[in-house]
Structure formats: C-alpha cells, structure tokens
Amino acid sequence: MSLSLVQGFSKSLAMTVLSEIGDKTFFAAAILAMRHPRRHVLAGCLSSLIVMTILSAAVGMAAPNLISRTLTKHITTVLFFGFGLWSLWDAYNDDDSEELAEVEAELDADVKANGGTTKSNNKVDDDLKKKNRPFLTQFFSPIFLKAFSITFFGEWGDKSQLATIGLAAAENPIGVVVGGIIGQALCQTAAVFGGKSLATQISERFVALSGGILFIIFGIQSFFSTIES
C-alpha cells in the first residue's frame, strides 16, 4: 500500500469524522431516526454522502488537469487555513444546543407543511395517494428519499465538501474517497442508532475546536509541501 494512499485515507477519515460529528446532517439523521425506520434513514443518509464524497473527490482529482498543480496546492493551502479559522470562530461563538434546535425546528416545519400530522383511514384516498406519488417513490421508500435529499442539500457547499475537494487535489483521491466514506458511515451510524440522546451529549464547541486545529495542521503540511515542490 503506497504512502500517498495511506495519507489520503487517514487525512480524509480524520477530517470527515471531526467535520460531520455535530454537523447539521448528523443532527438531522438522529432526529429522522427517531421518527422513521432506522434502516431507511441510514440507507438514505449514507447513499447521499457516498455520492457526495465521490463527486467531490472527482472534482478535486480533475482540478490539477484544469489549472497548474502549483496553483492547485496554493488554493488547497488557503482553503485549509480558511476552514481552520472558520471552525475556530464557530468554536468560540456557537451555542452548543443551537444547531440541534435549529435542525429540529426545520424538520418539524417540514412535517407540518406536508400535512404530516393528519391521517386518513379512507382506502380510496390511500389508493389515490399511491397513484399520485412522485415517480421516484414508486421505486424508493419516501423516507429513504427524504433522508437522501436532506443530507445531500445539507452537505452541498459545506466546508467538509470543499475540504474533500481540496484533499483529493493534494492527496491520493482513492484514499480520500475510502477514508471519507468510512468516516461518513461511522458518523451516520452513530447518529441513527445513538439518536437524540447522543446528539445532545456532543459538545459542538469541542468538535469545532478539534476540527479547526486539524484543518490548520493540514494547511501547514500543504504549505511546506508547496515550498518543497
């Protein structure tokens, strides 16, 4: 196993775990798992994050072919330092319970908007609902699709996605993908089976502080790597 593969794997795994624990998608998975079958929630969240990780790594892998490798390394270094400072800022300014409450409020609002509190015992109405369901729900569970979409759009443009792009541009992309997927699987499994009780015990401030320090370390490594090359 090559050193670059191990480095890409270990960096991606550590970055993913510290970025995703206490993140919005982590809390969303925990809350959804309390309200719906866990297997559908876990499958939807994991599928979404695997797709996101592969897409992000593909963009990072293509970056050196579109712009010079030196410029790519400079951009990656700036990203790591920027995300490190961003995470440290969050650690000192965020309330530990704020994000969990925000995610729960958003999901409650979504349930009310879709009439989640009403039930119908009329078989004709049920048959009509089945016929009028969106196309994808004919093949996938609505809970799977809900977990997939909430997670996908929650991660889109998030610092963990951009950091994955930066890592894939600087490290072995296969190692980055494998490390990212394993890290996502660990976090989402903990969220789904740990539920809200686990989510409330996690210190978002500590996780953000740890993630900020890790990003700064990655930035320093990237900086010296650029100088040596």
Measured between alpha carbons, how far is 2 from 11 in angstroms, rounded to an integer? 14
Q: Each residue of 123-140: pLDDT tens digit?
A: 444 444 444 555 555 666
pLDDT confidence of residue 182: 94
In percent, the amount of the chain with pLDDT more than 70 equals 75
Q: Each residue of 161-179: pLDDT tens digit?
A: 888 888 888 888 999 999 9
Measured between alpha carbons, how far is 19 from 218 in angstroms, rounded to an integer? 14
- Residue 9, pLDDT above cutoff 90: yes
DSSP structure class, residue 18: H
Average pLDDT value for residue range 27-33: 84
Handedness of CA 149, 151, 156, 161 (dihedral sign): negative
C-alpha closest to that of 163 among 214, 103, 227: 214
Instruction: Transcribe 43-70 into DSSP letters.
Output: HHHHHHHHHHHHHHHHHHHHHHHHS-HH
Q: What are phi and psi of 120, to 5 degrees?
A: -125, 135
| Average pLDDT across the chain, whole number | 78
Stronger pLDDT, 68 or 229, i.e. the higher one: 68
H-only helix segments in the chain: 3-20, 24-35, 38-66, 69-93, 98-113, 123-131, 142-155, 159-170, 173-201, 204-228
Q: Each residue of 74-112: pLDDT tens digit?
A: 888 888 898 889 888 877 776 555 666 666 676 666 656
pLDDT confidence of residue 174: 93
Q: How far apart are the first and last CA of the chain?
A: 23
Give the C-alpha distances (Å, rounded to integers) separating 11 from 86, 94, 102, 228. Answer: 19, 25, 30, 20
Per-residue confidence at 185, pLDDT binned at 50, 70, 90? very high
- Residue 52, pLDDT above cutoff 60: yes
